[in-house]
Amino acid sequence: MTIRFLSPPTRARLPVMLFGVAFLGGCASFSPDGGLDRVASITRERQGMSPQRIQSDQDAARVADEVKRLLSVSLDVDGAVKIAILNNRGLQADLADLGIAEADLVQAGRLRNPGFTFARLEGGGEREYERKFLFDLMGLLTLSTRSEIEQRRFQATQLRVAEASLRLAQMARQAWFEAVAARQAAKYQEDVFAAAEAGAVLAKRMADAGNFSRQRQQREQLFQAETRADLTRARLAESAARERLARMLGLIGAQRGFTLPERLPDLPAGLMEEKVVLQRAMDGRLDLNMTKRELDGLAKSLGLVKATRLVNVLEVSYLNNNVSGQPHSRGYEIELSLPIFDWGGARSARAEALYTQAMHRVAEQAVNAESEVRDAYAGYRTTHELASAYRDEIVPLRKRLSEETLLRYNGMLIGIWDLLADTRGQVAAVNAAIQAQRDFWVAESNLQIALNGRGASAAPVSKNTATAEAASGH
């Protein structure tokens, strides 16, 4: 539907007013930091370091120099996290989402460009010219609401990118713990193989001298072969863990030759309390804050849809017409849609359904968040108890038993086979302690992930609880 009003030539204030409003509507601009400061602040507060964009060759060179410096010495867990935050290209792709979201925000704060039409009609010895300037009045009326909606979406994107940064940091920590544990386990497996090899050589010599049965000699050879296979698997696990860590850190080429410490860090002296952990999670989970902001944005969208349900096209035009031999005529034209066939009920119902769906998703996420934190905390506490048991009881007892066995061997109360079997049992207990210690640090990282955002699955408890008797096999 179009309503046209013509006014005398002296009334030319409408185009000036419209262009003034259009100029003000085009003032929305990009922020200097592109939204990164908010992300950096969150990650710095919770992780002690913040991501940086790689947008030029100079940025890439600066990051490469820092990575080279961190890899020039034995790579500790903090260095691994810093390299991942700086160098992981998947995180850089997530940081690009900030630019996309800010572009949408700036676009929402700008009016649609005005239009201009020109018409020339000639006939009957007369000429008629029509000039029209079009302006989106509905866009002006909804500008503030649309900008607020996109502002909430932009803030939600910042929280999501911050969560991705914190998750990457914890996954890098996990990969580092697993790589160090795999190296430590492979080294101990070499000791197992060395003991088995010595036993097999001695058994062959004694069998050749007639002082040992072929059956016992073959049993020692079988144990040697089995431990060689175990050593091969341990070395493969070490290689796989290093490669996983290298992928997490974004390392290529010669950078993959990094060195790792000989052993895992010691267990912490104390644990966080469950009540404190749960409260911290409910107050600081970024995914919960993000979905709440998205829900607020949907509520605003729902209000906008309802407000424009009947009229969603409203344009105003400035007219300037003249016919040859006649004075100019000026005025304005208003164009709007009439709700005859579509009363906007479907759009309104869809917006309401989306809002209801999002509201239930937020409630579900709150329930899941608490459960995830409890699950992660249970794994954190249980793995600490197991690792402490190996550190404080099992390994010290195994060591004292080995010392007693050595004294008995020196006193010729037992033979070499008992000494070798005890050695295998001690190494197996140490291997199990390494796995238990690794499980704790992985569980601790899972708990940190659950405190910041979507929880990781509970850390598996290692089944490697071999005792000396099981290790000896006979």
Q: What is the DSSP letter of 453?
A: S
Lowest mean pLDDT among 5-9, 248-252, 264-268, 448-452: 5-9
Q: What is the DSSP letter of 459?
A: P
What would the pLDDT profile of 240-288 be if each residue is shown by its tens digit? 999 999 999 999 888 889 999 988 999 998 888 888 888 777 777 777 7
Confirm whether 349 is domain-assigned.
yes
Confirm whether 441 is domain-assigned.
yes
Q: Largest alpha-carbon pair distance within the chain?
A: 134
Asked if the model's pLDDT at residue 409 lies above 80, the reply is: no
Count CB neighbours of 374 within 10 A.
17
Confirm whether 17 is domain-assigned.
no
Confirm whether 334 is domain-assigned.
no
Q: Residue 235 has what pLDDT? A: 93
Strand pairing partners for 322? 129
Asked if the model's pLDDT at residue 194 lies above 50, the reply is: yes
Asked if the model's pLDDT at residue 458 lies above 50, the reply is: no
Stronger pLDDT, 58 or 321, i.e. the higher one: 58
Q: Residue 166 has what pLDDT? A: 87
CA distance 474 to 467: 13
Lowest mean pLDDT among 158-162, 310-314, 409-413: 310-314
Question: Amino acid identity of 472?
Answer: S
**pLDDT band at residue 438 under the 50/70/90 scheme:** very high
Which token pair is 290? Answer: 């993000």
Residue 72 Ramachandran class (φ > 0 left, ψ -120 to 50 alpha, else beta)? alpha
List CB contacts of 7: < 8 A, sequence separation 6 or more: 330, 331, 332
Q: For residue 264, which of 329, 183, 146, 334 has the smallest C-alpha distance? A: 183
Q: For residue 86, which of 242, 250, 244, 245 has the smallest C-alpha distance? A: 250
Q: Residue 338 has what pLDDT? A: 53
**pLDDT band at residue 77 under the 50/70/90 scheme:** very high
Confirm whether 128 is domain-assigned.
no
Percent of the chain with pLDDT over 90: 19
For residues 105-119, average pLDDT:
78
Domain total of the chain? 1
List CB contacts of 145: < 8 A, sequence separation 6 or more: 300, 303, 304, 307
Q: For residue 277, which of 163, 389, 443, 159 has the smallest C-alpha distance? A: 443
For residues 217-227, average pLDDT:
80
Asked if the model's pLDDT at residue 469 lies above 50, the reply is: no
What one-character-per-residue DSSP string does 188-253 give? HHHHHHHHHHHHHHHHHHHHHTTSS-HHHHHHHHHHHHHHHHHHHHHHHHHHHHHHHHHHHHT--G
Q: For residue 304, which of 343, 347, 264, 269 has the smallest C-alpha distance? A: 347
Confirm whether 13 is domain-assigned.
no
For residues 322-346, average pLDDT:
59
For residues 197-202, average pLDDT:
79
What would the pLDDT profile of 80-89 be if each residue is shown by its tens digit? 999 999 999 9
Confirm whether 19 is domain-assigned.
no
Question: Which domain range does residue 281 map to?
Answer: 31-110+142-309+344-472
Confirm whether 49 is domain-assigned.
yes
- Considering only CA atoms, give the Rg of the chain: 36
List CB contacts of 147: < 8 A, sequence separation 6 or more: 28, 105, 108, 109
Stronger pLDDT, 24 or 204, i.e. the higher one: 204
Phi, psi of 151 (to 5 degrees): -65, -40
Lowest mean pLDDT among 14-18, 233-237, 285-289: 14-18
CA distance 147 to 104: 9
What would the pLDDT profile of 33-56 be if each residue is shown by its tens digit? 788 888 888 888 888 888 888 888
Any idea what the CATH number is for the domain that residue 452 is in? 1.20.1600.10
Q: Residue 247 has what pLDDT? A: 93
Count CB neighbours of 302 within 10 A.
18
| Three-state DSSP class for residue 32 | coil
Q: Residue 414 has what pLDDT? A: 66
- In 34-123, where does DSSP find H-type helix? 36-47, 57-71, 77-87, 89-108
Which token pair is 335? Answer: 């164009």
Percent of the chain with pLDDT over 70: 70
